[in-house]
Amino acid sequence: MSAGEASVIGGWPRPRRAVPADSAELVRLRTLMFAAMGTATDKVADPVWQGECATLLQGWLGRPDSSVAAYVVDAPEAGLAASAVAEVTWRMPSPLRRDPRVAHVGSVCTDPRWRRRGLARAVLGALLADLDAAGVPRADLHATGAADRLYRSLGFVDVRWPSLRREL
C-alpha cells in the first residue's frame, strides 16, 4: 500500500501515512483537539495559526527525509476521521539514553462523529510501529484524562521527572 492509498478492513479504512494534501484536514482535527482540551475559542478559531500549521505540514509531509510522520484514517464520506502526528527531534545523549532521537506525539484526534470505534488506537498504533521500524528509541506525549487509558495500554508510562516550562 503506498502513501495516499487506504485499504478497507471490516468496513473501515485502515490507517495510512498522511500526504501533503491531508494538511487542511489535519489542521481541522488539531483544531477539534484544542477545543476539546478547553483552549479559548478565540485562539482555536484564529485562522493565522491554522494557516501557518497547514503550510508547515504540507512541507513536512512532502519530504521523504522529513522528521515528521503522520497517520490518518479517512472518513467514510470525505475528509479525515482520525489522526496522529509525531515530530522526531534530537537531544544530547545521556547515560540513560545514548540515541539522540526522541519523538513527540501530538495531534492524536478523532472527529467526534467517529469516536468510540478504535480509530485513535489504529492511527497511534501505526505511527508507533513506524517509529519502531525507524529505530526511534523514545516517544513522549502530553495526555488528557480522556485518552490516558489508551496511551497506557500502548506502553506509555509516567516519567520520573515532571515537566516544567517557561515561555520565552
pLDDT per residue as tens digits for the range 85-124: 999 999 998 888 889 999 999 889 999 999 888 999 999 9
DSSP 3-state of 20: helix
d(CA 122, CA 16): 10
Higher-pLDDT residue of 160, 15: 15
Cell 484524562 -> residue: 145
C-alpha grid cell, residue 117: 470505534
Q: What pTM was estimated for this model as a whole?
A: 0.86
pLDDT at 10 over 70: no
Q: Which three cell numbers stand for residue 136?
A: 526511534
Set of cell numbers at residue 114: 467517529
Neighbouring-strand partners of residue 110: 82
Position with higher pLDDT, 9 vs 61: 61
pLDDT at 72: 96
Q: Determine the Cα–Cα distance for residues 80 and 21; give it in Å rounded to an integer.
A: 11
Question: Do residues 129 and 122 make contact, with C-beta atoms less than 8 angstroms apart?
Answer: no
3-state class of 55 per DSSP?
Answer: helix
Q: Flag the least confident range among 68-77, 97-106, 134-143, 155-164.
A: 155-164
Share of the chain above pLDDT 70, in %: 93
pLDDT bin (cut points 50, 70, 90) of residue 8 is very low
**Gap between the Cα atoms of 1 and 9, Å rounded:** 13
Q: What percent of the chain has pLDDT over 90?
A: 52
CB-based contacts of 103: which residues, under 8 Å, 6+ apart? Answer: 86, 87, 88, 89, 131, 136, 138, 139, 140
More confident residue, 41 or 6: 41
